[in-house]
Amino acid sequence: MGELLKKAKIPVILVICGLLLLPLLLKSSSMEDQKATWLWDTELIKDPGKIIAFCREQNVGTIFLQVQKKVSDEDYRRFIAAAYEEGIAVHALDGQPDWAYERQRREADQFLQWVFDYNAKAAPSEKFAGIQLDVEPYQLRRWERDQDGVVREWSSNVEKWVAQGKENGLYMSAAVPFWLGNVKDANGSGNLSRWMISQFDAVAVMSYRDSGRKIYDVAREQLDEADQLGKSVWIGMELGDTEEGSHITFFGKAVPVMEEEMKSVNSLGDSHPSFAGLAVHHYEIWQDKIASAASDEKPEKSNQ
């Protein structure tokens, strides 16, 4: 009898182990292909239907939306609510290179406070789910002559911004370049990439290259760091025409080529617990690219 009970327990144990491991072994295709995108032309949200339909078709789960005060609170509410209905999170986006300076922190604080005040008045389905800061002080001339000083001020500001955001229940992220690991942190004891990842809930790595493998390769350091720190990483893909060279963008490349490389990024990134998906820069160009390709595929009407 005891032997029969032991044998009976084995299948039960195997089933339980299988159920526990299932989330690790299998991911739904929707999770594997989850994407984010930046939306810079905020006035487009006055017609939310087109944006939401595109994001649904392209499996976009997060929109980084540039905040512009010329757009009304009502427009933000309608757009965010429409996105919420489709399971799409909207994060408030803003930033300037000189926000890294302590003397300019007030300008960033005003942006954060606007988001906090807006959310305080909005219904749950109308609230921003997070904030993304796009502060790129390496574009400033001072970066070349006083990098350490800029890093110290930037880091001090980041600590304060993240604390404010978390106090207000917002998911905090930052757009960062893939090479940030080559810069020392403010203490000089580690690299700035790892420090930034440790501060934010997530980072969006501007890992812009013209193939999925290259995109993954330049973002891999941040993915590894985020794996260790229990944080999340979006991997960036550039679609726009840029003066930085054709090697960093999919501008001019066919949609099927682009989509195959997207699959490649997802496949490579999926080995990292920190991988949050592909972040496409940016919505306006992406939508135009897909629309143009669809138009080209339509057969010409006969005149007969």
Q: Which residues pair with 204 in a beta bridge?
A: 175, 234
Nearest to 50 by CA among 91, 83, 85: 83
Q: What pLDDT, on a 0 to 100 scale, did the predictor assign at position 21?
A: 45
Q: Does domain 32-294 have CATH number 3.40.50.2300?
A: no
What pLDDT sits at residue 3? 53
Q: Where are the domains of the chain?
A: 32-294
Q: What are phi and psi of 206, to 5 degrees?
A: -80, 75
Stretches in the chain below the pLDDT threshold 50: 4-6, 8-10, 12-31, 302, 304
The predicted pLDDT at position 298 comes to: 62
The predicted structure's pLDDT at residue 33:
76
